[in-house]
């Protein structure tokens, strides 16, 4: 018998352990939801890898979660959220949520001086995803980015 979409779990993944923070918050906000978490600690960090490798790992992580019959996927990884093409996300057939847009909205709400600093992996910063998202939300925002080593 096929599970109803409402009964299926939400899949959450990250390239390491940082996504456990997101998982903890999801448990607090959605106490009645079943969650499946995948942290790819074997290949952490993703952010020092080339884009092709990041995409290959991401798609493998997503396939694993789809194999768990999830109703949606939350990507708690900035590197993957900034690298995974929108067309691929839309092709999954279930909702896919990354962190870039949501973190950007939160940063714009919090800034008191119109300036936002973003630190991240080389891959996250070089993608320009945060700068683009922040400028889309508020074109007057002054964004400073800095890639950080491990």
What are 40-93's pLDDT values in tens digits? Answer: 999 988 999 999 999 999 999 999 999 999 999 999 999 999 999 999 999 999
Give me the mean pLDDT over the 105-131 stretch. Answer: 96
Q: Is the pTM of this model over 0.85?
A: yes
Which tokens is 52 given?
């092709």
Tens-digit pLDDT profile for residues 120-138: 999 999 999 999 999 999 9
Q: In whole angstroms, give the CA distance from residue 96 to residue 12.
A: 10
Under the banding of pLDDT at 50, 70 and 90, the label for residue 37 is very high
pLDDT at 1: 52
How far does CA 102 lie from the centroid of its chain?
A: 9
Q: How far is CA 60 from CA 55, 103, 110, 113, 132, in A?
A: 9, 25, 35, 41, 27
**Taken in order 65, 68, 70, 76, is the CA torsion positive or negative?**
negative
Mean pLDDT of the chain: 94
Judge whether residue 31 has pLDDT over 90.
yes
Which tokens is 109 given?
């709400």
pLDDT at 67: 98
DSSP 3-state of 10: strand
Residues near 62 by Cβ (< 8 Å), separated by ≥ 6? 13, 73, 92
Beta bridge mates, 35: 10
Under the banding of pLDDT at 50, 70 and 90, the label for residue 149 is confident
pLDDT at 5: 59
Q: ∠ CA 99-11-39 to the nearest 5 degrees?
A: 75
Q: How far is CA 91 from CA 29, 60, 108, 146, in A?
A: 27, 15, 30, 32
């Amino acid at each position: 018998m096929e599970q109803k979409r409402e009964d299926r779990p939400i899949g959450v993944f990250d390239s390491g352990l940082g996504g456990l923070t997101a998982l903890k918050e999801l448990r607090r906000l959605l106490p009645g939801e079943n969650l499946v978490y995948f942290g790819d600690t074997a290949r952490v960090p993703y952010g020092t890898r080339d884009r092709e490798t990041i995409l290959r790992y991401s798609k493998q992580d997503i396939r694993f979660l789809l194999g768990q019959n999830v109703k949606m996927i939350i990507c708690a990884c900035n590197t993957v959220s900034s690298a995974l093409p929108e067309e691929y996300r839309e092709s999954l057939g279930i909702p896919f949520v990354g962190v870039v847009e949501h973190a950007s909205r939160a940063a714009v709400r919090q800034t008191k001086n119109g300036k936002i600093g973003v630190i991240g992996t080389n891959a996250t910063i070089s993608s320009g995803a945060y700068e683009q998202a922040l400028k889309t939300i508020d074109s007057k925002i002054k964004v400073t980015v800095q890639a950080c080593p491990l």
